[in-house]
Structure 1
Amino acid sequence: MPEVICLGIMVVDLVGRPVRVIPEKGKLTLVDTMELHTGGCAVNTGRALSRLGVKTGVIGKVGTDALGDFIIKELEVAGIDTRGIRRAAGVNTSATMVMVSEDGERSFIHYIGANATLKPEDIDWDLVKGARLLHLAGSLVMPGFDGEPAAGVLKRAQEMGCLTSIDTAWDATGRWRKLIDPCLPYTDVFLPSLDEARMLSGYEEPEAIAASFLQRGVKIVGIKMGAAGSYVASAKESILMPPFKVQAVDATGAGDAFVAGFLAGLVRGLDLKETARLANAVGALAVTAVGASSGIRSWEETQGFITANYNNTN
């Protein structure tokens, strides 16, 4: 049985790089590479966890199309439990065109697709009850799930003895706190990006942001700050963890990789500082290859990377 269940968005990414210019209407521009990858927070985090040696399952929704087949096959090859994936009729699998610039930064064109149809009744609770942790991956971009429905799912998971965690995405609808506030009392670990955390808290600085989430019921807060590292806090301690320095090739999925490292640290029983360092390391390694999961290393390889670069985050 899986130790961690990643519940949330599932996407196919078509990644082109480097995109030097967006062509005018009716024109064409060339890139050096274009590749098809699995994506979406639940898939990215699940694949990274599996690579780190954590038994993982994914719950989500794809269409009855070739892209849905592609995601499921790739997850099965990665050793991930796919029994919780549902197929949505009449709607295609979610997909994103990822345009990667020469410095590794990304722009996106996204189709929500089957992710919009995910609802609490799609959850296989037999899978969840055997897991140690239920991770809600991609909160704020699941219109059939966000808000009170998600809060009910997290509450039920906690009542079943699972730890719960949330990773947010950018809320283009602007509802932010209306969607996330019902969930926080039932969230053990909250892992937003700094920009998302600012929108969700009303504060600018990581210390004040984390304190606001802890006051609203969260047990551990981990704020992803990209090139600035991460800020992690609980009621007992706070840590500003510097980043690992690597050559960035593609930042796609780096936040999901950070989340996977964080959850792996919790499942493996690491303390908060070790967990933050592991999360930063997994996130850093993710940007060294094209695609959301290609740069993820095994647990042993990641530990070797941390040891070799320990002075950067001591």
Structure 2
Amino acid sequence: MPDVLCLGILVADLVAKPVTALPPKGGLKLVESIQLHNGGCAANTATALAKLGFTAAVSGMVGNDGLGQVLIDNLIKAGIDTRYIMKTNQAGTSVSMVLVDSSGERSFIHYTGANALLRAEDFNQESLVNTRILHIAGSLLMPGFDGEPCAEVLKIAKSQGLMTTMDTAWDDTGRWMKAIAPCLPHLDIFIPSLAEAKMLTGLENSAEIAQVFLGYGVKVVVIKLGSDGCYIQTQDSSYHIPGFKVRAVDATGAGDCFVAGLLAGVLQGLPIDWCGRLANAVGAMSVTSVGAATGVVSLANTFAFMNSSIERQEGHKWQQ
């Protein structure tokens, strides 16, 4: 059984780059490339974990269509357990049109599709057997699962001794805190982006934001800061961990790869601040290639990248 079960959204990403402006109504814009990649937080995080050398399984829902089968086939090729992925005839596989500008930043046009149909009753508890971490991947984009249904699954995982973690996606429906508040007391680690965390709390300062989530019962809050790294806060300590400097090509899935790096650090038993450094490194490597998780390398090569960067910036190596 896997180190991590990634339960969440599965998406076919159509990545177009570079997109400098949208075409006028009835017009056309040329781009250099349009590529189809596996996407969605669950698929991206699991793929990055597998590339780092850990075992991962995915649970979620796709349409009974060609895109859904491509997603599953690609996950199998990556060495990921797909037995808990369900197919539905009630909706198509979720799709994101990812518009990447010349700096690597992205905008999305998203079809929720089959992800909207996922329910707590679809969850197979056998997937938790001998699993170390349950990661909820892409909360706020699963309207049938967000909130109390997700909280019930987290309770089950906690009762079986698993660590529980969650990241979020952008909520275009405006539910925000209402959709995740029931889950927070059952989370060991909560991993929103800064933009999402601001919308969830209505606050601007990372420390104040983290305190809100800690007040709900989360044990560790990790706020993703993009190229600026991450902010980590527990009840006893806080860290701002700077990011690594790389040439960004495509930031698609960078947050999911960050999460994979964080979970890899946890699985390795690293202190939480070094989990943050590893997460920053994996996230940085991911943006150096087109497509989510394409740029992620082995754990050994990631450590080598970290050592070279830390030695260059701080004058010493990290002895993992």
Matched residue SS, 2:38: strand
Which residue of structure 2 lines up, in the alignment, with residue 298 of structure 1?
298
Matched residue SS, 2:283: helix
After TM superposition, the structure 1 = structure 2 runs for residues 34-45 of structure 1, keeping only pairs within 5 Å, are 34-45=34-45
The one-letter code of the counterpart of 2:142 is M
Aligned residues of 1:129 and 1:157 also touching (Cα < 8 A): no
Which residue of structure 2 lines up, in the alignment, with residue 201 of structure 1?
201
Q: 2:196 and 2:108 mapped to 1: Cα distance?
A: 17
Matched residue SS, 1:173: coil
The one-letter code of the counterpart of 2:176 is W
Matched residue SS, 1:309: helix
Aligned residues of 1:9 and 1:142 also touching (Cα < 8 A): yes
Q: 1:63 and 1:190 mapped to 2: Cα distance?
A: 29
Which residue of structure 2 lines up, in the alignment, with residue 252 of structure 1?
252
Which residue of structure 2 lines up, in the alignment, with residue 275 of structure 1?
275
Q: Over residues 169-212 of structure 1, what are the superposed CA-to-partner deviations in whole Å (9 max), with x where a residue is unaligned?
A: 11111111111111100011000000111122232111111122
Q: Which runs of 4+ in 1 moved over 4 A?
A: none
Which residue of structure 1 lines up, in the alignment, with residue 177 of structure 2?
177
Which residue of structure 2 lines up, in the alignment, with residue 153 of structure 1?
153
Question: Would you say how many aligned residue pairs link Structure 1 and Structure 2?
Answer: 314
Which residue of structure 2 lines up, in the alignment, with residue 74 of structure 1?
74
**Percent identity of the aligned residues?**
54
The one-letter code of the counterpart of 2:175 is R
Q: 2:73 and 2:248 mapped to 1: Cα distance?
A: 28
Q: 2:211 and 2:24 mapped to 1: Cα distance?
A: 46
* TM-score computed with the length of structure 2 as normaliser: 0.96
Q: Over residues 7-55 of structure 1, what are the superposed CA-to-partner deviations in whole Å (9 max), with x where a residue is unaligned?
A: 0000000111111221112211111111110000000001001111111
The one-letter code of the counterpart of 1:291 is G
Q: RMSD value over aligned CA atoms?
A: 1.1
Q: Please, which runs of 5 or more residues in structure 2 have no aligned partner?
A: none
The one-letter code of the counterpart of 1:244 is F
Which residue of structure 1 lines up, in the alignment, with residue 109 of structure 2?
109
Aligned residues of 1:262 and 1:276 also touching (Cα < 8 A): yes
> Once the 2 structures are TM-superposed, how far is the Cα of residue 96 of structure 1 from its aligned partner?
0.8
Q: Please, which runs of 5 or more residues in structure 1 have no aligned partner?
A: none
Q: 2:25 and 2:201 mapped to 1: Cα distance?
A: 39
Matched residue SS, 1:108: strand
Q: 2:218 and 2:201 mapped to 1: Cα distance?
A: 13
Which residue of structure 1 lines up, in the alignment, with residue 133 of structure 2?
133
Matched residue SS, 1:131: coil
Which residue of structure 1 lines up, in the alignment, with residue 144 of structure 2?
144
Which residue of structure 2 lines up, in the alignment, with residue 5 of structure 1?
5
Q: Over residues 111-131 of structure 1, what are the superposed CA-to-partner deviations in whole Å (9 max), with x where a residue is unaligned?
A: 111000111111121111320
Which residue of structure 2 lines up, in the alignment, with residue 265 of structure 1?
265
